[in-house]
Amino acid sequence: MWTGRFTQATADKVLRYSESVSYDWELYRHDIAGSIAHARAQLAAGMLTQEEFDAIEEGLRSILADIDAGNFAWKRELEDVHMNIESELTHRIGSTGAKLHTARSRNDQVATDTRLYCRDRIDSILPALRGLQRVLVDKAEQYQDLRIPGYTHLQRAQPVTVAHHLLAYVEMLARDASRLADCRRRLNVCPLGSGAIAGSTINLDRAAIAAELGFDAVTENSMDAIADRDYVLECLFCLSLIGVHLSRLSEDLVLWSSSEFGFCTLSDAHTTGSSLMPQKKNPDVCELTRGKTGRLVGNLVSVLVAVKGLPLTYNRDLQEDKEPLFDSFATILLALQVNAEMIDAMQMNPDRCASAVADPLLLATDLADYLVRRGIPFRQAHELVGKAVAFSVDTDTPLNQLSPEQFQSISSAFGEDVHSVFDLERAFRLRTNPGSPGAERTKHRLAYWRKELS
């Protein structure tokens, strides 16, 4: 592509190996916005006449309209989005188009475009996060009094409510949104004007360029501005962690919707059948979310590895940041949207939930607390309840059906009122601390999220 220094054309295989326009065309809006701001700064610095600036702006806007309409032919031999647009501009308005690149490099150009892209994509992800949170809050409110076993090690542990379980994911997504917003703030500085590595002897008003593009400030070190991909990595990490949270939610729903659990039913619109077994109703959205999370994590790792050994400043390795970045943003946006749809249509099965939560062993810890309130140290209470559970298993008698005499044969610390522990209503009434699944705490948290997400 380049002339002057080179006497041979780029080999076709090298061109196919090195081109990026097949994917970085996605930056066209940001590239054109950056070019218009750069040209306006050239005008202010006397590098362009008003007539030249008007021609550049009009030419770039006409290119934008053609790309939007699908009427633009991307040329692989021009390598990337930047050269495709600049070449077409010069074709349309003549030699004035060749002035546009004064005082900038593709290095600071791509860094600017990518920051603008990340900022815009974050602005589309944040509403999708809030949308999924709202659906989870709606579903939690619908089933706020429905109790289920809570699990540790995938073993029944203590009773919780469906609302408390779903609100756990609302909390996770809130942290995800906070991280993304913080990432957006950190990346919103303008590198344009840093040149290829050391700025330019033609000094344009960088602050004015930054203001026009909506940046909060300009970068303060040209070498760092060109080499920096922290913001890409931070975006990829944030998106990966959202994926991890969605994957954990997916695993819960895979279990809940199975015949073995039967806690919920996913809609036909969000499940699939089997090509062989006509009875099957597979939670494919959940499984795909788990699988796509692996891709999100892989995208993060691929860019970390690409950047880890690079000396300052620009190296062509950095071209490899874009496909993972574009893929991760597109993947997580669709994942958030489809999961919101699926959960909105999901129905809980109260009878199966009630049957599972009736297991008296779920209140074994409450039984230990009962002994603590009767003056027994917790470690000793834990041991005594363990013996009671073993006795229950050995005699094939449910824990809540052991007689007071049988409990007292284990320890005189058990009173005649021991069976009061196995009242679920009482168990939830006693859970009043912030963060607990008690009814009043759940109502309080639902009200908080209603206000927060309104």
According to CATH, where is 1.10.275.10 located in the chain? Answer: 12-102
pLDDT value of position 6: 81
Q: What single DSSP character describes residue 402?
A: S
Fill in the amino acid letter for 401: Q
According to CATH, where is 1.20.200.10 located in the chain? Answer: 107-200+217-355
Return the CATH number of 358-453, one of 1.10.40.30, 3.90.1150.180, 1.10.620.20, 3.40.50.720.
1.10.40.30
Choosing from 22, 124, 178, 274, the catalytic residue is 274
pLDDT value of position 120: 98
Burial of 2: CB neighbours in 10 Å, binned 0-12, 13-18, 19+: exposed
* pLDDT tens for the chain, residues 1 to 454: 555 778 788 898 998 999 999 999 999 999 999 999 999 999 999 999 999 999 999 999 999 999 999 999 999 999 999 999 999 999 999 999 999 999 999 999 999 999 999 999 999 999 999 999 999 999 999 999 999 999 999 999 999 999 999 999 999 999 999 999 999 999 999 999 999 999 999 999 999 999 999 999 999 999 999 999 999 999 999 999 999 999 999 999 999 999 999 999 999 999 999 889 988 899 999 999 999 999 999 999 999 999 999 999 999 999 999 999 999 999 999 999 999 999 999 999 999 999 999 999 999 999 999 999 999 999 999 999 999 999 999 999 999 999 999 999 999 999 999 999 999 999 999 999 999 999 999 999 999 999 999 9
DSSP 324-347: HHHHHHHHHHHHHHHHHHHHHH-E
Q: Are 144 and 162 in contact (CB under 8 A)?
A: yes
Query: Which CATH homologous superfamily contains domain 107-200+217-355?
Result: Fumarase/aspartase (Central domain) (1.20.200.10)
pLDDT value of position 278: 87
pLDDT value of position 2: 54
pLDDT value of position 279: 87
In tens, the pLDDT along 103-124 reads 999 999 999 999 999 999 999 9
Fill in the amino acid letter for 339: N
Sequence-ordered list of residues with C-beta below 8 angstroms from that of 139, at least 6 positions apart, any chain: 162, 166, 343, 344, 346
- Both tokens assigned to 198: 């050391």
Query: Which CATH homologous superfamily contains domain 12-102?
Result: Fumarase/aspartase (N-terminal domain) (1.10.275.10)
Q: Within its chain, how far is the Cα of 113 from the centroid? A: 22
Peptide bond into 112 cis (omega under 30): no
Annotation says 153 is catalytic:
yes
Choosing from 153, 259, 412, 454, the catalytic residue is 153
